[in-house]
């Protein structure tokens, strides 16, 4: 396998730039640049030279095979972060035979292929790199730390036990094995099925943390929705006007509310209208508001009823407090902090229940595993042949292995690593 190198830190001028190398024989490259090798896994100050020319003074770190991120012999060079220094060193590294620039995600792909990470951890790493809020960081780190992989291994061991018991009755019917394994096998199946259902039920909140919650601001025309959105966003993202029906399309603003990723939606004012374009805007507003995780209804009078049925967690509050005297105002900021706190509280209640399945691929694998497990349960209860039960248990095990990438990963890798930067 080729030796690879790449700039691992951001491009552009910086205090320090990090260049990574990986692959068998990587240390020999460092030996030529440093005039000798420092101890492994100890940051050492070295003068980098090439053909008698001084390049820079750098911190050099060496990692043995089996003790690096990729699982291969690896190294990191930390140089001063000037663009000229980085470019010169990358140019020199490109001159070494068998050493080439890494492709996007190639370091992580080698970690996967060498068994240092499973596929779920790779996806967690990608999400950690993309994390914009504290909740996204915590969730991605849980997956990267291997929580999902360890849970899958517990599930898998239970399945292997159940499959072994069933297959023992098939292959060794005349030997000294339990004649009726149904109670133990059925117990394993029921317990595991409940665990998978629980994980699937909590996966939606995990997905919302990953991609963001949607909060729709809903109300009648001129209720102050666009003004409120501008105040929350702290910039003019929506046109405001005294003319009713100014907002016709949905305006989205992505924000960090108390560590939660939130997309605020400014929707068209809800009313009956003969204007064909406004009618489309109202229909879209209703559809998007009903699909949102939370709705904030801005009311124009204390006795006004919300234009849509309130769902669990929804907020109804008076708008234009600068005129009415109570509620929230995007003009003066009255009640703004309290509204933000309330939105954060309503969404935060959903976060502790979030699971470890953060991607559609993972949910599909667990859903398919649960389907096979339910089939196995049905077959056992109906007294069908042990061979059929064994087939369903083996199918469940395969879906578990798909989940962590032990089998069938090749078709997924191109899509996954396309989101990685070079040097990771």
Q: Is 246 marked within a binding site?
A: yes
Average pLDDT of the chain is: 84
Q: Is 224 marked within a binding site?
A: yes
Q: Is 230 marked within a binding site?
A: no
Please state which CATH number belongs to domain 220-338: 3.40.50.300
Q: Is 222 marked within a binding site?
A: yes
pLDDT of 241 reads 43
C-alpha closest to that of 358 among 167, 204, 242: 204
Residue 416 contacts by C-beta under 8 Å, 6 or more apart in sequence?
105, 119, 122, 123, 126
- Structural domain boundaries of the chain? 3-113, 125-208+356-417, 220-338
Determine contact, residues 78/62, Cβ cutoff 8 Å.
no
Q: Is 266 marked within a binding site?
A: yes
Q: Is 301 marked within a binding site?
A: no
Q: Residue 21, by phi and psi: left (phi above 0), alpha (psi -120 to 50) or beta? A: beta
Distances in whole angstroms, Cα of residue 35 to Cα of each of 17, 29, 39, 196, 366: 21, 10, 13, 56, 53
Phi/psi of residue 280, nearest 5 degrees: -65, -40
Tell me the CATH architecture of domain 125-208+356-417: Up-down Bundle (1.20)
Distances in whole angstroms, Cα of residue 251 to Cα of each of 229, 230, 267: 9, 11, 7
pLDDT of 271 reads 55
Determine contact, residues 107/5, Cβ cutoff 8 Å.
no
Q: Is 405 marked within a binding site?
A: no
**Cα–Cα distance measured from residue 245 to residue 277, given in angstroms and rounded to the nearest whole number:** 10
Q: Is 263 marked within a binding site?
A: no
Q: Is 247 marked within a binding site?
A: yes
Residue 383 contacts by C-beta under 8 Å, 6 or more apart in sequence?
none
Q: Tell me: the pLDDT tens digits for 268-307?
A: 766 555 566 656 767 777 888 888 888 988 888 888 887 7
Q: Please tell me the class of the 3-113 domain.
A: alpha beta
Q: Is 227 marked within a binding site?
A: yes
Q: Tell me: the pLDDT tens digits for 181-238?
A: 788 889 999 999 999 998 888 887 787 788 888 888 888 877 777 888 888 877 766 5
State the SS3 of the chain.
CCEEEEECCCCCCCCEEEEEEECCCHHHHHHHHHCCCCCCCCCEEEEEEECCEEEEEEEEEEECCCCCCCCCCEEEEEEECCHHHHHHHHHHHCCCCCEEECCCCHHHHHHHHCCCCCHHHHHHHHHHHHCCCHHHHHHHHHHHCCHHHHHHHHHHHHHHHHHHHHHHHHHCCCCCCCCCCHHHHHHHHHHHHHHHHHHHHHHHHHHHHHHCEEEEEEECCCCCHHHHHHHHHCCCCCCCCCCCCCCCCCEEEEEEECCEEEEEEECCCCCCCCCHHHHHHHHHHHHHHHHCCEEEEEECCCCCCCCCCCCCCCEEEECCHHHHCCCCCCCCCCCHHHHHHHHHHHHHCCHHHCCCCCCHHHHHHHHHHHHHHHHHHHHHHHCCCHHHHHHHHHHHHHHHHHHHCCCCCHHHHHHHHCCCCCCC
Q: Is 225 marked within a binding site?
A: yes
Q: Is 212 marked within a binding site?
A: no
pLDDT of 298 reads 86
Tokens coding 128? 């950690």
Task: List the chain residues with pLDDT less than 50.
Answer: 178, 239-248
Q: Is 244 marked within a binding site?
A: yes
pLDDT of 220 reads 80
């Amino acid at each position: 396998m080729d030796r690879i190198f790449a700039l691992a830190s951001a491009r552009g001028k910086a205090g320090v730039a990090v260049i990574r190398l990986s692959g068998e024989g990587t240390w020999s490259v460092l030996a030529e640049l440093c005039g000798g090798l420092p101890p492994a896994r100890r940051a050492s100050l070295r003068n980098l030279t090439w053909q008698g020319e001084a390049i820079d003074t750098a911190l050099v770190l060496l990692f043995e095979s089996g003790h690096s991120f990729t699982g291969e012999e690896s190294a990191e060079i930390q140089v001063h972060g000037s663009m000229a220094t980085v470019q010169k060193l990358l140019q020199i590294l490109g001159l070494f035979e068998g050493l080439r620039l890494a492709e996007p995600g190639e370091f992580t792909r080698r970690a996967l292929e060498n068994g240092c990470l499973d596929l779920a951890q790779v996806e967690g790493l990608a999400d950690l790199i993309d994390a914009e809020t504290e909740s996204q960081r915590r969730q991605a780190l849980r997956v990267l730390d291997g929580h999902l992989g360890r849970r899958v291994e517990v599930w898998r061991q239970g399945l292997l036990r159940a499959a072994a018991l069933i297959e023992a009755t098939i292959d060794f019917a005349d030997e000294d094995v339990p004649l009726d394994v149904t109670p133990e096998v059925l117990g394993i199946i029921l317990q595991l099925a409940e665990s998978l259902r629980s994980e699937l039920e909590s996966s939606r909140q995990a997905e919302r943390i990953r991609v963001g919650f949607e909060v729709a601001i809903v109300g009648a025309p001129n209720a102050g929705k666009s003004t409120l959105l501008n105040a929350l966003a702290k910039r003019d993202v929506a046109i405001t006007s005294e003319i009713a029906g100014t907002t016709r399309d949905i305006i989205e603003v992505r924000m960090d509310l108390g560590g939660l990723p939130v997309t605020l939606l400014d929707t068209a004012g809800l009313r009956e209208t003969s204007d064909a374009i406004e009618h489309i805007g109202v229909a879209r507003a209703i559809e998007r508001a009903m699909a949102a995780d939370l709705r904030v209804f801005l009311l124009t009078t204390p006795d006004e009823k919300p234009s849509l049925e309130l769902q669990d967690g929804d907020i109804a509050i008076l708008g234009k407090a600068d005129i009415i005297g109570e509620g929230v105002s995007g003009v003066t900021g009255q009640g703004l902090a309290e509204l933000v706190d309330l939105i954060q509280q309503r969404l935060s209640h959903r976060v502790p229940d979030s699971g470890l399945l953060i991607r559609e691929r993972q949910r599909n694998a667990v859903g398919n595993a649960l389907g096979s497990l339910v089939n196995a349960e049905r077959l056992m209860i109906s007294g069908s042949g042990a061979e059929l039960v064994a087939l369903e248990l083996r199918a469940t095990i395969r879906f578990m292995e798909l989940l962590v990438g032990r089998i069938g990963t090749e078709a997924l890798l191109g899509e996954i690593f396309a989101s990685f930067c070079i040097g990771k």
